[in-house]
Amino acid sequence: MDVRCVVAITGASGAIYGIRLLQELKGEKILVMSRTAREIIPAETDYSVEQVEAMADTVFSDEEMFASIASGSFRYDAMIVAPCSESSVAKFACGIADTLISRAASVCIKEGRRLVLLVRETPKSAIMLENELKLARLGVTIVDANPGFYPRPRTVDDIIDIVVGRCLDQIGAEHGLYRRWE
């Protein structure tokens, strides 16, 4: 199924999850990266920021508060934040919409759209868990970057694919990234 999806990459470690998501998503991809994500991408991966931007159909700066995705009247199917920092989780849980990423997440929540957060943090404090619980109660899907091992991953790429595949499952997007439980 092709979707119109907002992909946000925040400053948490694990930028490769957002990159792999962009590679696998079918349909229109709208990308927003935080300033820290732009610094992490070349530090953690073999990709440049420009190469990642080229994977999307539309790219917005996190400071572009007048971008289309900041409005509830702009239609898209889902938003996936991958990776999602706990700082972003806290903003979303408290309704702080001071960047394009946090504003778009706020729009998803208020409009009842699919919002999937691929949280990449461990261990978690009680504050982090409470913020995630608050969002889950609002209908936000929290996916921890924890792979299953029943598909028998052999490489780091296999592990990344399992986690990204689970995110795609949450928005109903077809993929063949891992062997499902039989």
Residue 64's pLDDT is what? 97
pTM: 0.96
Work out whether the CA dihedral 167, 50, 103, 146 comes out positive or negative. positive
Which sequence spans correspond to the domains of the chain?
Answer: 3-170
Residue 40's pLDDT is what? 97
Query: Could you say which of 3.30.420.300, 3.40.50.1950, 3.10.310.30, 3.40.710.10 is the CATH number of the domain covering 3-170?
Result: 3.40.50.1950
d(CA 104, CA 23) in angstroms, rounded, equals 21
Which neighbouring-strand residues pair with 116? 80, 141
- In order along its 182 residues, the chain shows pLDDT tens digits of 688 999 999 999 999 999 999 999 999 999 999 999 999 999 999 999 999 999 999 999 999 999 999 999 999 999 999 999 999 999 999 999 999 999 999 999 999 999 999 999 999 999 999 999 999 999 999 999 999 999 999 999 999 999 999 999 999 999 999 988 88
Q: CB of 114 within 8 A of CB of 41? A: no
Q: Which residues contact 79 (CB under 8 A, 6 or more apart)?
A: 5, 6, 7, 8, 69, 104, 105, 108, 113, 114, 115, 116
